[in-house]
Amino acid sequence: MNPLKKALLEFIEPQRLLEGEPMGEHTTFRVGGRAELCFFPRSGEEIARGMAAAEAAGMPCLVMGNGSNLIVRDGGVRGLVMILGEPFSEIQVSDDEIFCQAGARLSRLAGAALEHSLTGLEFASGIPGTVGGGVVMNAGAYGGQLSDVLTEAQVLHNGRVETWTREKMDMGYRTSRPLRENCVVLSARFRLQKGDASAISQTMRDLNARRRDKQPLNYPSAGSTFKRPEGYFAGALIEGAGLKGLRVGGAQVSEKHAGFIVNVGSATAGDILELIARVQRAVLEKDGVALETEVRVVGEEPDI
């Protein structure tokens, strides 16, 4: 038996350990090869033990959330994939604070804030990711970001569970210390302000209406493909280079918003990555701006 599989079965029931799981079913781009081994942890202890088992077996380990900011290459993922989702998604509200495990959806977190008339997370109501991934990437939209309201996070750092303050998290535009040091965020605590539930709800409706109006939500994607370059807007640069609608296979620069690359029909990860590279080359040649991607790219190249 695969030594990693054997180690995992010491603390995971066989029915919770998936082999050859298609990663396209766990990413919002709907692309990606198969994971060698995959499971949904129920606790921070399982996450720590899974990572330790992979390290002991000399195999890579990928910890992910909703896959909303991820491209998995067509060759799939070697080793272990742990998906933080519903089994690890507890939310607790106390006065003006919310504690949330990493697998909870950001939309559910924003909904809990609304339910308790707490303002400060309206911007997150339409973001498709999980709290863990959102904190790692310092997710934000419409002038708000998670670092505005985060007070601390529980982080798995070098095999130890530690509590990091917002200052120690060192969060910036689409980055954080856990991202740079390859740590796993297990939970987060947010401090909000008391507000009026009807006003909070109206703000959420208004922001989500703007999303529907401006963004290509009818196609699979990973949200904004590129970071905002200083002094520019990525979508405007891409549109100015005449790339709106450009296709590679089933991947397309959105005709609705050029800052999004979308899967318009059976795209492969290879199609998406080739299209990203073409866009980057064209914008660099025309405007001298090097576009950086917001999305993470993981996994293996397919065998030829």
- Regarding pTM above 0.85, the answer is yes
Radius of gyration of the CA atoms of the chain, in A: 20
Same domain, 199 and 107: yes
- 184, 127: one domain: yes
pLDDT tens for the 304 residues of the chain, in order: 689 999 999 999 999 999 999 999 999 999 999 999 999 999 999 999 999 999 999 999 999 999 999 999 999 999 999 999 999 999 999 999 999 999 999 999 999 999 999 999 999 999 999 999 999 999 999 999 999 999 999 999 988 999 999 999 999 998 999 999 999 999 999 999 999 999 999 999 999 999 999 999 999 999 999 999 999 999 999 999 999 999 999 999 999 999 999 999 999 999 999 999 999 999 999 999 999 999 999 999 987 6
Same domain, 110 and 183: yes
My answer on whether 108 and 203 are in the same domain is: yes
Residues 18 and 43 in one domain: yes
Same domain, 54 and 100: no
Q: Are residues 172 and 100 in the same domain?
A: yes
Q: Within a 10 A sphere around the Cβ of 45, how many other Cβ atoms?
A: 11
Looking at 30, 55, 84, the residue that finishes a domain is: 84
C-alpha 134/C-alpha 69 separation (Å) is 9
Q: Are residues 235 and 171 in the same domain?
A: no
Q: How far apart are CA 298 and CA 274, in angstroms?
A: 15
Q: What is the 3-state secondary structure of 140-151? A: EECCEEHHHCEE
- Which of 24, 49, 84 terminates a domain? The answer is 84
The CA–CA distances, whole Å, from 243 to 44, 83, 262, 264, 286 equal: 44, 35, 13, 16, 12
Is 304 domain-assigned?
no
Residue 237 falls inside a structural domain = yes
Six token digits for residue 9 = 């079965």
Where in the sequence numbering do the catalytic residues fall?
A: 174, 224, 294
- Examine residue 272 and state whether it is found in any structural domain, yes or no: yes
Could you tell me if residue 303 is inside a domain? no
- Residue 133 shares a structural domain with residue 149: yes
Say what the pLDDT of residue 303 is: 78
Instruction: State how far the Cα of 258 lies from the Cα of 235, in Å rounded to an integer.
Output: 5
Instruction: Identify the DSSP state of 302.
Output: P
Q: What is the CATH number of the domain that holds 157?
A: 3.30.465.10
Pairwise CA distance, residues 48 & 52, whole Å: 6
Question: Is residue 209 included in any domain, yes or no?
Answer: yes
Number of folded domains that form the chain: 3
271 lies in some domain: yes
Q: Which three-class secondary structure state does DSSP give residue 232? A: coil
Residues 93 and 206 in one domain: yes
Q: Which of 55, 84, 113 is the last residue of a domain?
A: 84
**Same domain membership, residue 226 and residue 209:** no
Domain of 40, in residue numbers? 3-84
Q: Assign residue 68 the CATH number of its domain.
A: 3.30.43.10
208 and 224 part of one domain = no
